[in-house]
């Protein structure tokens, strides 16, 4: 019995260290804690259930095999895991896109639809409302750039090309968008 | 690293946002990760902003389809798993414990565990000697399972089947199980409520009857529950001492 366990033992960060030691039960818990958010993200990016499940599978396999690379000093478990999920999903969306013609053929979606139309099953949790509120504080141009980069998987250079703006402008817009989100979220935290 | 060539748009510090958003191309990514190793400023910036990006990432929650988790676990653990194969998976889990890393459960919410202790003791003593109590549990569990607003979740046990039923209207949750193997002598099934803060609170314990059936009304608050876990432990434990054999998240 772990009577002297620390507070952090209760956390996902602790579970990750147990995962890293090869404990399947810890991995199952990690999966249960983050899979809905992960699948939600993959669906938003890939807009296809099968592709999203493939990405989810890859991502969690990576979480399991690379658990020992997790460092709680550097990131939260959620951040570490969602980064992996995002990367796997973006890799896939880029692969899919590279199969088609680039350029005007990008299926451009405005951020409002991007956040509303896929995840019909979205739970309106408090953090979801918080993010939505923060997003609504961005300018339309910032939201558009953020959506193209983060949800549609475009690189900064592709965002610039797509919007017909200089690369430097695209970078600034994305940076400002993220800073603004941070400000908004800190206010509501 | 592609240093040396001057490119006004390629100040590596400038790539932080793109890195956070996965919006760098392969060359940019390589250049930035090299840069990152020697730039505390950029590491700091990433640390500051990565939680914001994580929130953005986590805003939509969609349950993966049923069966997906099993497939994932099968493929992840499949060839790598060196778990002993015994006829009885529950026994296999339990008997393999001393040899493996002990599951470290959270130790928070001591007060809840105290309540759990009283409860587990009571139930442990009453179970075999108080059939009416079991019958009452079974009847109440049936009512929860039959409630109009019931939510049903599958507990993915290694052997046998079990469901958690939650009726917000009744304010009660129940576990009903079938075909459960009898745990090793001196041990029982324990149900633990996984609370929002990560702590675990005892929600009761049970033994299956001769047919492997069991019903339990969970002694738990539902408003801060995020899931349930099942362990096989001694009747008197106030927190789990073994790895969960099943977990379900709300």
Residues B25 and B115 in one domain: no
Same domain assignment for residues B102 and B187: yes
- The pLDDT, as a whole number, for residue B3 is 44
Residue B107 confidence (pLDDT): 36
| Structural domain includes residue B21 | yes
Residues A187 and B138: their CA atoms lie apart, in Å, by 49
Distance from C-alpha of A122 to C-alpha of A36, rounded to nearest angstrom: 10
**Interface pTM, i.e. ipTM:** 0.83
What pLDDT sits at residue B22?
96
Q: Are residues B37 and B119 in the same domain?
A: no
Residue A139 has pLDDT above 60, yes or no: yes
Question: Cβ(A60)–Cβ(A123) under 8 Å?
Answer: no
Buried/exposed B115-138: b ≥16 CB within 10 Å, e otherwise: ebeebbeebbeebeeeeeebeebb
Residue of A38, A46, A175 to mutate, interface with B, max B Cβ within 10 Å: A175
| Same domain flag for B108 and B47 | no
The reply to whether A117 touches chain B by the CB within 8 Å rule is no
For B195, nearest residue in chain A (alpha carbons): A10
H or E element, residue B172? strand B172-178
Residue B104 with chain A: CB contacts under 8 Å: 2, 5, 9, 14, 18
Which residues of chain B neighbour A49 with C-beta distances below 8 Å? Answer: 65
Contacts of B83 in chain A (CB under 8 A): 24
A46 min Cα distance to partner chain B (Å): 13
pLDDT tens string, chain B, 250 residues long: the values are 444 444 545 578 889 999 999 999 999 999 999 999 999 999 999 988 999 999 999 988 899 998 999 999 999 987 544 443 333 333 223 323 333 333 333 333 333 333 333 333 333 333 433 556 667 778 788 888 888 888 888 887 888 888 888 888 787 888 888 888 888 877 888 888 877 766 778 888 888 888 888 888 888 777 777 788 888 887 777 777 777 788 777 7
Residue of B nearest to A78 (CA): B54
Kindly report the number of other CB atoms within 10 A of residue A62's CB atom: 17
Contact A145, A114 (CB under 8 A): no
**Is residue B98 domain-shared with residue B51, that is, in the same domain?**
no
Q: Which of A79-88, A91-100, A104-113, B14-23 has the lowest mean pLDDT?
A: A104-113
User: Half-sphere exposure (CA, 13 Å, Cβ side) for A128?
Assistant: 16
Looking at residue B68, its pLDDT comes to 94
B201 touching chain A per CB within 8 A: no
* Distance to chain A for B112, nearest Cα, Å: 14
Say which of B56, B61, B241 has its CB closest to residue A123.
Answer: B61
What does the pLDDT read at residue B32? 93
pTM flag (> 0.80): no
* Pairwise CA distance, residues A166 & B181, whole Å: 67
- Cα A51 from Cα A79, distance rounded (Å): 22
* Cα–Cα nearest to B235, from B158, B106, B127, B156: B127
Residues B102 and B223 in one domain: yes
- A11: tokens are 């956390």
User: Are A174 and B23 within 8 A, CB to CB?
Assistant: yes
Question: Which residue of A6, A37, A70, A142 is the best one to mutate when testing the B interface, meaning the one whose CB has the most B CBs within 10 A?
Answer: A37
> Are residue B40 and residue B110 in the same domain, yes or no?
no
The answer to whether residues B95 and B173 belong to one domain is yes
pLDDT digits (tens, 9 = 90+) for B204-221: 888 888 888 888 888 877
Looking at residue A45, what is its pLDDT? 93
B28 with B136, same domain? no
User: What is the total count of domains within chain B?
Assistant: 2
CA distance A142 to A137: 10
A101 — pLDDT class (breaks 50, 70, 90):
very low
Tokens (6 digits) for B247: 């977990």
| B240 located within any domain | yes
CATH label of the domain that carries residue B19:
1.10.10.1320
Contact A182 B47 (CB under 8 A): no
- All domains of chain A, ordered by start, with CATH? 8-99 (1.10.1740.10), 104-189 (1.10.10.10)
**A160 interfaces chain B, CB cutoff of 8 Å:** no
Query: Considering the domain boundaries, does residue B197 fall inside one?
Result: yes
Q: Do residues B148 and B216 share a domain?
A: yes
Task: Give yes or no: residues B20 and B115 share one domain.
Answer: no
SS3 assignment, position B246: strand
A100 to chain B, any CB pair closer than 8 A? The answer is no
Full domain range(s) for residue B215: 89-249
Q: Alpha-carbon distance A87 to B58, whole Å?
A: 14
Kindly list the residues from chain B whose CB atom is less than 8 angstroms away from the CB atom of residue A56: 64, 68, 72
User: Where do we find the tokens 């990576």?
Assistant: A62
Q: Using CA coordinates, name the residue in chain A closest to B237.
A: A1
B34 in a domain, yes or no?
yes
Match 């805003």 to its residue by tokens.
Answer: B59
* B2 located within any domain: no
For residue B17, is it left (φ>0), alpha (ψ between -120 and 50) or beta?
alpha
Q: What is the mean pLDDT of residues A162-182?
A: 95
Please give the torsion angle defined by the CA atoms of residues A97, A98, A100 and A105, in that order, rounded to the nearest 10 degrees: 60
pLDDT for B88-115, tens place per residue? 333 223 323 333 333 333 333 333 333 3
Pick from B104, B190, B192 the residue to mutate for testing the A interface (most A CBs within 10 Å).
B104
B72, part of any domain? no
Q: Are residues B142 and B18 in the same domain?
A: no
Q: What sign does the CA torsion over B66, B67, B68, B69 have?
A: positive
Question: CB distance from A50 to chain B under 8 Å?
Answer: no
**B76 assigned to some structural domain:** no
Residue B78 lies in a domain: no
């Amino acid at each position: 019995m772990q009577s002297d366990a620390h507070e952090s033992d209760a956390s996902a960060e602790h579970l990750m260290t147990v995962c890293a030691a090869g404990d399947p039960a810890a991995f199952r818990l990690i999966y249960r804690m983050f899979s809905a958010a992960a699948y939600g993200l993959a669906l938003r990016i890939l807009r296809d259930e099968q592709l999203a499940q493939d990405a989810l599978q890859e991502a969690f396999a990576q979480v399991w095999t690379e658990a020992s690379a997790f460092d709680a000093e550097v990131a939260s478990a959620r951040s570490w895991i969602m980064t992996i999920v995002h990367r796997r999903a973006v890799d896939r969306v880029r692969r899919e896109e590279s199969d088609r013609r680039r350029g005007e053929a990008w299926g451009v979606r405005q951020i409002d639809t991007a956040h509303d139309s896929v995840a019909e099953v979205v739970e309106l949790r408090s953090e979801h409302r918080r993010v939505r509120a923060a997003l609504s504080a961005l300018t339309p141009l910032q939201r558009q750039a953020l959506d193209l980069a983060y949800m549609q998987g475009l690189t900064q250079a592709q965002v610039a090309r797509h919007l017909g703006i200089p690369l430097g402008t695209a970078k600034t817009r994305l940076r400002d968008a993220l800073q603004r989100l941070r400000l908004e979220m800190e206010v509501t935290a | 690293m592609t240093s040396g060539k001057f490119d006004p748009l390629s100040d590596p510090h400038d790539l932080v946002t793109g890195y956070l958003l996965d919006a760098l191309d392969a060359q940019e990514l390589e250049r930035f990760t090299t840069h990152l190793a020697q730039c505390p400023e950029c590491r700091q910036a990433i640390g500051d902003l990565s939680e914001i990006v994580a929130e953005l990432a986590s805003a939509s929650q969609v349950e993966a389809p049923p069966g997906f988790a099993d497939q994932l676990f099968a493929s992840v653990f499949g060839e790598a798993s060196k778990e002993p194969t015994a006829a009885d998976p529950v026994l296999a889990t339990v008997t393999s414990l001393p040899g493996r890393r002990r599951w470290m459960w959270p130790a928070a919410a001591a007060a809840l565990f105290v309540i759990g202790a009283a409860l587990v003791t009571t139930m442990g003593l009453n179970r075999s000697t108080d059939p009416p109590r079991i019958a009452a549990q079974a009847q109440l569990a049936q009512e929860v399972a039959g409630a109009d607003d019931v939510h049903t979740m599958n507990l993915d046990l290694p052997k046998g089947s079990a469901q958690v039923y939650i009726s917000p209207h009744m304010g009660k949750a129940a576990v009903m199980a079938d075909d459960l193997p009898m745990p090793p002598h001196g041990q029982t099934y324990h149900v633990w409520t996984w609370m929002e803060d990560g702590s675990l609170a005892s929600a009761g314990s049970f033994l299956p009857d001769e047919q492997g059936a069991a019903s339990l009304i969970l002694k738990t608050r539902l408003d801060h529950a995020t899931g349930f876990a099942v362990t096989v432990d001694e009747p008197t434990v106030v927190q789990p001492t073994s790895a969960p054999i099943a977990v379900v998240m709300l």
